[in-house]
Amino acid sequence: MPLTPSKPRRAGSPAGVDDHTDVTSAAALWDGPEPDLDVDRELIHDPDGTKKTGVAIRSAAPVLTPTSEHGPAPSREDYHLEPGTALGEYRIEGKIGQGGMGVVFSAIHPLIGKRAAIKILKKELCADPHQLQRFVDEARVVNEIGHPNIVDVFAFGEMPDGRSYFVMEWLKGETLRARIAHSSMGTAEVSAIIRPLARALEAAHEKGVIHRDLKPDNVFLVKVRGEEPTVKLLDFGIAKLARNDQRVEKTATGAIVGTPQYIAPEQAKGYAIDHRADIYALGGIIYELLTGRPPFVADNAMEMVAKHLMETPMPPSHFAPSVMPELD
């Protein structure tokens, strides 16, 4: 499926900038913090301490939430595992992140020393068939696509207490959000990031998978000694198989799933979506990488959605004169 929309589309808009410069592991896959927990602010909070990216709009208009609807806060049993605890072939080393659906732990294979990250679904959600299926689908989707620029999930299992988990590759580096915070980027660096990211999206779309939450926080730049970073697309937790259901999924409270800063207009309205919703978000990322600023600036999520629906951003060259005319 081509990565070209059928008609011109307005660019998306970025979220707040994280202040961390080095994130180790696939903790960036996580869906967002549980507000009542003392969590790792560096990984899953904005610098001001607010929840990252997704917000809820409480009004008569379509409601937007973070990438998944949070259930009850995880108990200590949910987010605590002793170092050395065996999960399949791996041994737990420690917790590296937690959120509304559960916890991510670092782990190692005791025989060959392979590092991994293990994502464990919260116990309460394991009893919910819909949430459990979403968790299984996340692992299944990335394997169905099978692309080197998409984070790999290579094992799935169930703990003795009934909690489900999957094992994914260990990533060392930083999110694209963190890279944006460092400094401006030249055209060559932007191209080196966008090309593999576009290939990963194309592979997903060819399999009928719509990511639905593309943003710099879900793009990881893996450190490779002596080479350019390897780009990895993360978090297929709310991905959708377009061939099965093209209408955007809503939570039990009727809220639309997605991130306001990058959501395509048709997705915000709850209309049927296709691969172009991802391309719209990709356009917003490209705009920010080229100009160093969002296409749209808004004080709140409602205003942001209105800008997506009603406004056209200034050409990139308005903010970055060095941008080639072809990119305007």
- pLDDT of 255 reads 55
Predicted local distance difference test score (pLDDT) of residue 75: 56
Domains 23-46+62-169 and 176-315 alike in fold: no
Q: Where are the domains of the chain?
A: 23-46+62-169, 176-315
Residue 147, pLDDT score: 95
* Fold assignment, 23-46+62-169: Phosphorylase Kinase; domain 1 (3.30.200)
At residue 79, the pLDDT reads 60
> Domain spanning 176-315 has what CATH number?
1.10.510.10
Given this model, what pLDDT does residue 16 score? Answer: 31
Task: Identify whether the C-beta of residue 237 lies closer than 8 Å to the C-beta of residue 138.
Answer: yes
Q: What pLDDT does 91 receive?
A: 96
> What are the tens digits of pLDDT across the range 304-327?
888 888 999 889 888 888 888 888
- Within 10 angstroms of residue 163's Cβ, the number of other Cβ atoms is 20
Residues of the chain with pLDDT under 50: 1-71, 74, 244-248, 250-254
State the pTM of this model. 0.73
Active site residues: 213
Tell me the pLDDT tens digit for each residue of 222-253.
999 999 999 999 988 777 665 544 444 544 44
Looking at residue 292, its pLDDT comes to 87
Which residues, 6 or more positions from 38, have their beta carbon under 8 angstroms from its beta carbon?
Answer: none
Cβ neighbours, 10 Å, residue 154: 13
Q: What are phi and psi of 156, to 5 degrees?
A: -140, 145
